[in-house]
A and B are shown apart, each in its own frame.
Chain A
């Protein structure tokens, strides 16, 4: 009740009409001044100022019309109202107070949940579900022979278009948030791409992936309602206290908080003179009222989300710039890392090597380098231990050491073009001699165990 009161306060017109049936159908009507509400017993001509008149049908319903009125799909085309039988095939017109069948077809039962629309001089039915398959076919009604014809489409056609959200803008029909079912498993897959059909040449094009941060398309929801207003698409879901406004030309999407307008209301809506007209059911009394709401005030609701709708070129170039940035960053990080490890030499049993370069060494040379792999500074006395031989003089050992070090340094310099070992006085005791490994070089001993 609170919801209803707020709605009434928000309503810009004083229009309110009580219905005594659940089976009704709201039609736009030929004139901007009034609309129709069809019931099984008769129909209302309801004016926007609140007046309404009940009339009986001038003719009985056609026998083929054996389904509830609210399952028919209405369409206004060239100032004429058409009613489509669920699943396609049978087509009726409503004029002069009577419903007449105008097709020479049969109940197709092939396009339940399809979108019924008019473009130029034709009316079309697109997508739907039937015979255990989701369809992406387009059928066109031939007014001359009263039959439906399949329209051949080309391009990136989606495989199955059930329960989609459609937006007709000029010669483009945009489609998104539809379901495709796998033929074998009947598993429902909600498509997350935006497609557009050019109605001049029936060429399909996939425009891109819908922004995955947009909440409604990530949710399981009830039935949805969508209508065009001021070149924008307004759509809502029955189990979501929000409505959404899509501006496809500017690729922008807005989400509004709404707990009174569309939320938990019926799926029938028409837009008339910038007013939304639809039924509101009082959950306490069960009473159904047709109410109107000024669509111009729809933006008075608080915006809770605003973003781009689908990823297009702007996002693409953002990714490209990011990719180049990331690649540059990666090269810098790897360069720093490489610089750090590039002077790491591996010493094994008979050689010293670095990426792509190797130098064979004698056993004593390997032993010398092994000392430097443990300590960067090696005292002369420690080094001499390698050269001291029993029965030989110390002088001989010194000569051998010097010769070995010169030979080693020459080999390494020639192979790797870097100075390896330098001789200098020990920092602790100037009388002692020490050998120091070039501080840029790191030696790793990798002997086979």
Chain B
């Protein structure tokens, strides 16, 4: 039901905000890096944010839906940062500090990475290290989702995949939070109908990409926080599962940053070295490229989970996934 509420609210709000932006001629500027030539607005993130507000209000009132207050504040703060960037194009350094602040607020929820769960032979880590690692992971994931928002539907579809595959874990573990996921999935689905619409084209913008990234990071913290019960513990390592769930944003960001550094450029420079740009340059349209990446990232999850179910060690599982990623790269992206 909450998915339907989210879908309806998002569909209405996206249409409404598109018209509002259009009447003010607030279109996304078309630059050399742009993969689109239609007039499009960056109102998708705002619509998503309002959709979540509506769903949360209803969920809180009717079904005792609840997310930690600090997490909510952090999400709102990051959404406002995104809005500021969409409207005024704030500098990267300023955006970075605002993201660090949002990460620190999120840590106040008491949900953060407090253990490596056996990765590198490390389990529980000191509080100060937890904070540093958590802030770093927050910055990386939030920006990774922002960076993959380069073609239609990609960030949205990969977010839906993340939320759907995480829904089972959260539903088992937290009665208060599981309604968050259908609300967001509904909201993103409503947005997708506009994202692929050439006449009323809507982009997530920084608001949407940063908001989705921060919500995803919160759920990743939830999974990696050793205080929380995660039903998948019996058959898969938590960090391994998290990496599988966000494999494309992580792999793409890492690859793009390495290429830029190799070329002596800033790793944060905006350009067209992303894997999805490569697909577009190879002749895929946006829909084809996004669904291909979505399908491939699901197969990566399947390979990883299957390797884990075979009771292989974490190193062996990681190696199998790495080999599979290399094969995928050479078949589809090379």
Binding site for B on A (CB under 8 A): 156, 192-193, 205-210, 212, 311-313, 315-320, 323-324, 326-327, 330-331, 334-335, 337-338, 341-342, 344-346, 348, 351, 353-358, 444, 446
Contact = CB atoms under 8 A, between A and B. Distances in A.
B175 A313 contact: no
A444 B168 CA distance: 43
Given A193-B229, A326-B164, A446 B39 contact: yes
Nearest to A195: B229
Interface stretch (B54-62, B82-90, B137-145, B188-196): B188-196
26 contacts: A206-B173, A208-B172, A208-B229, A209-B172, A209-B173, A315-B172, A316-B169, A316-B172, A316-B232, A319-B167, A320-B168, A323-B165, A334-B287, A335-B287, A338-B196, A338-B287, A341-B198, A342-B285, A346-B39, A354-B38, A355-B38, A356-B37, A356-B151, A356-B286, A357-B37, A446-B38
Contacts of A320: 165, 168
Contacts of A212: 175
B171 interface: yes
B168 A327 contact: no
A156 B161 CA distance: 29
Interface residues of B, number: 41
A233 to B, nearest CB: 21
A156 B227 contact: yes
Nearest to B35: A356
A403 B227 CA distance: 74
Contacts of A209: 171-175
B287 to A, nearest CB: 5
A319 B178 CA distance: 12
Contacts of A338: 196, 287
Contacts of A342: 285, 287
Given A318-B168, A338-B196, A341-B196, 12 more contacts: A193-B175, A209-B174, A210-B175, A311-B171, A312-B231, A320-B165, A326-B185, A327-B164, A351-B37, A355-B36, A355-B286, A446-B39
B206 interface: no
A340 to B, nearest CB: 10
B199 interface: yes
B291 interface: yes
Contacts, number: 115
A446 B160 CA distance: 32
A335 B193 CA distance: 11
Given A313-B234, A316-B231, A334 B196 contact: yes
Contacts of B286: 355-356
Greatest chain B CB density within 10 A among A209, A313, A318, A357 is at: A209
B251 interface: no
B198 A330 contact: no
A106 B165 CA distance: 53
Contacts of B39: 346, 348, 446
A260 B68 CA distance: 43
B198 A207 contact: no
Contacts of B165: 320, 323
A344 B285 CA distance: 14
B280 interface: yes
Given A313-B231, A330-B160, A337-B193, A345 B198 contact: yes
Given A208-B229, A313-B231, A341-B197, A356 B172 contact: no
B152 interface: yes
B152 to A, nearest CB: 6
Nearest to B229: A206
Interface in B60-78: none
Contact of B198 (A156, A312, A318, A346): A346
Contact of A353 (B37, B152, B167, B196): B37
A351 B30 CA distance: 14
Contacts of A326: 164, 185
B193 to A, nearest CB: 6
Contacts of B199: 341, 344, 346, 444, 446
B175 A354 contact: no
Contacts of A312: 172, 231
Nearest to B164: A323
Given A341-B196, A356-B37, A311 B160 contact: no
Greatest chain A CB density within 10 A among B172, B192, B280 is at: B172
B229 A207 contact: yes
A331 B291 contact: yes
A156 B298 CA distance: 31
Contacts of A317: 168
Greatest chain A CB density within 10 A among B231, B234, B280 is at: B231
A12 B227 CA distance: 49
Nearest to B173: A209
Nearest to B166: A323
B243 to A, nearest CB: 18
Interface in B201-245: 227-229, 231-232, 234
A226 B316 CA distance: 48
Contact of A319 (B171, B228, B291): B171
Interface in B13-36: 35-36
Contacts of A348: 39
B229 A156 contact: yes
A212 B174 CA distance: 11
Contacts of A330: 160, 189
A317 B169 CA distance: 10
A96 to B, nearest CB: 48
B175 to A, nearest CB: 5
Nearest to B199: A444
A331 B292 CA distance: 11
A292 B271 CA distance: 81
A327 B291 CA distance: 11
A351 B39 CA distance: 12
A281 B298 CA distance: 63
Nearest to A351: B37
Contacts of A358: 37
Nearest to A444: B199
Contacts of B151: 356
Contact of B285 (A315, A324, A355): A355
B38 A353 contact: yes
Contacts of B198: 341, 344-346, 354-355, 444
